[in-house]
Amino acid sequence: MGNVTQTPTRTPEAGPAASPTSGPSGAHGRAGSQGRSGTGRNLEGHRWIGRPAEANTAEALRERLIGSLQSWRDYPASLRLWYWLIPALTAALGGVLRFVRLDTPRNLVFDETYYVKDAYSFLVSGYERSWPDRANDSFIAGNPGVLLNTPEYVVHPPVGKWMIAAGMWLFGADNPFGWRFGAALTGTLSVFLLALIAQKLFRSLTLGAVAGVLLAVDGHHLVMSRTSLLDIFLMFWILAAFGALLMDRDDGRRRLAARLGRQAAASPAGRPSALQLTTGPWLGIRWWRLAAGVCLGLAVGTKWSGLFFLAGFGLLSVFWDLSARRIAGVHAWISGGILKDGIPAFLSIVPVAAAVYGATWTGWFRSTDAYFRHWAETNPSAEWGWLPDAVRSLAHYHLEAYKFHQGLSSDHPYEASAWSWLVMGRPTSFFYESPKQGTPGCDLSNCTTAILSVGNPLIWWSAAVCLGILLFWWAGRRDWRAGAVLAGVAAGYLPWFMYPERTTFFFYAVSFEPFLVLALVYCLGLVLGQRSDPLWRRRSGFYIVVLFVVAAVLLSAFFYPVWTAEVIPYQEWRLRMWMPSWI
């Protein structure tokens, strides 16, 4: 991970900073390119050997560690507004697609039958309560107050259900807009967040816009944003944690450059002493890393699969710090990074995430009759009796939920092995009806209204191919951005292969879908070319990228009816079923 080992020292005359709208040349096409601004392919302007007094100033170290574009304030004044306007515009596009006709259909679709009603229970009592038979009919009719006083046993943590409940609190629990508002808002905000992350990651406004548009129009993300399942909330907190760690990466390197620069300035030799460079300095409290811990705690508090991202992102952050110390010239950068970055990273992320996760169960702790709330009082333990009864009861709750997840292997018509996710081999059908002729929108004898959680084929299949390209650029060209994107995909995807017997669904993949989009955008950045490429090459690359994005938007328009339950002729529905396994 990280930049190349030998980063040249650039003279003041080497040229201006990279254009923020450039493609991979100034953004991510070459490992270590951020330290080579204003130079061409033949390394003109480079000075490979520099005086210690020049190479160890805070400014030189910061340029070597981060690059010339260190925040949005470093963009030219004419582009600073676009840094925020582009994500806002892509989010506006995503919001229109997600909020228009959000109350259609009026049914509780697929697993909304669990999570929407659980969310209403949270509003009423702070924990999940049971429902009578045919409760869905009463709920859909606008009479949700039929829930029972007995507690209900559920196997997912509370955060996602609280986020659904927030929409009900704002717009009422008696209408589908209120049920789904939280999911639609979360999906819209994730488009905004991904565009910002792409701009930060690739140092390119163009690629930020592409990332935002592709996520905004993708059908899988759209369907998950228009239905109140938990996975869209899991995805959001994971993406927010990744963004916080990107900010922390720059913040940590900025601190490292400043502290080594001060040590160098205080030394007659113009560089830190050998002792100071043995392990490098301590970097203090990393506030963005703490923010990432909070977000990861909320992710785990939505679904336990967030634990894989907690582990993967924690290791990724430490690897970034190890690379920073190596590039800065720290001698024992491995042991120093583990001691001064790894241990603080663990303390900043894991205990914080655990505390946040525990806090998400406040409603259960405050209740008097939630499920298993008083289990410990009737099951004394000589070994664990020193723990408070409430904590021991919650631990038992988690043990039972873990057993449930481990034994979840019942057949389902829309179960999909993780092997098929990247090619969308078996997307989940959330809703399907055949309206009769004469109903609104149906003028033929055979009509269909459906919600299928299939993604845009051009986006998904292209992203699957791009993963192999990123693997080469990470392993072969040592580009840390490729490694970061692959880490996000790996944390959300690979763990499911450890449970081949478990019943799994394609919509689980939404947790790492933003990273698939980033992988695709990375490769589109390669198509854009480098700043030093001839004008015809850059222009051709730009036209190809524009053509790809336009094709993706048009294909999304084609599939839009089967993502949003529009009433269409049956033959048009069949026309959109490109694979037999989609039916």
Alpha carbon distances (Å) from 524 to 215, 491, 553, 576: 14, 23, 16, 26
Task: State how far the Cα of 87 lies from the Cα of 189, in Å rounded to an integer.
Answer: 10
Task: State how far the Cα of 349 lies from the Cα of 309, in Å rounded to an integer.
Answer: 12
What is the SS3 assignment for 9?
strand
Q: What is the mean pLDDT of residues 103-130?
A: 94
Mean pLDDT, the chain, integer: 89
pLDDT tens digits, 352-376: 999 999 999 999 999 999 999 999 9
Where are the alpha helices (H) located in 266-361, listed in sequence order?
Answer: 276-279, 287-300, 306-328, 333-337, 343-359
pLDDT tens digits, 170-224: 999 999 999 999 999 999 999 999 999 999 999 999 999 999 999 999 999 999 9
Q: What is the mean pLDDT of residues 547-573?
A: 97
Q: Which residue has the tokens 């490979």?
A: 48
Task: Spell out a b/e string for 413-452, using b for 16 or more CB atoms within 10 Å of the CB, else e.
Answer: ebebebeebbebebbbbbbeeebeeeeeebeeeebbbbbb
HSE (side-chain half, CA atoms, 13 Å) at 536:
0
Non-local CB neighbours of 118 within 8 Å, separated by 6+ positions: 128, 152, 154, 161
Percent of the chain with pLDDT over 70: 91
The conformation of residue 12, written as its DSSP 8-state character, comes to G
Q: Which residue has the tokens 């336009």?
A: 550
Strand 567-569 vs strand 46-47: parallel, antiparallel, or unpaired? unpaired
Strand partners, 47: 9
Amino acid 519: pLDDT: 98
Model's pTM, two decimal places?
A: 0.91
Q: Is 181 exposed, middle or buried (0-12, 13-18, 19+ CB in 10 A)?
A: buried
The conformation of residue 51, written as its DSSP 8-state character, comes to -
Task: State how far the Cα of 319 lies from the Cα of 334, in Å rounded to an integer.
Answer: 9
Q: What is the mean pLDDT of residues 526-548?
A: 93
Amino acid 50: pLDDT: 65
Rg of the chain on CA atoms, in Å: 26
- What is the C-alpha end-to-end distance of the chain, expressed in Å? 43
Q: Is the peptide bond before 176 cis (omega within 30 degrees of 0)?
A: no
- Cα angle vertex 232, ends 397, 557, to 5°? 155
- C-alpha closest to that of 317 among 489, 480, 522: 480
pLDDT range class, residue 70, cuts 50, 70, 90: low
- C-alpha closest to that of 83 among 213, 240, 200: 200
Residue 548 pLDDT exceeds 60: yes
Q: Which residue has the tokens 């080497």?
A: 14
Q: What is the mean pLDDT of residues 76-89?
A: 89
pLDDT range class, residue 30, cuts 50, 70, 90: very low
Non-local CB neighbours of 85 within 8 Å, separated by 6+ positions: none
Task: State how far the Cα of 185 lies from the Cα of 171, in Å rounded to an integer.
Answer: 13
Task: State how far the Cα of 357 lies from the Cα of 364, in Å rounded to an integer.
Answer: 12
Angle between helices 306-328 and 287-300 (to 10 degrees): 160
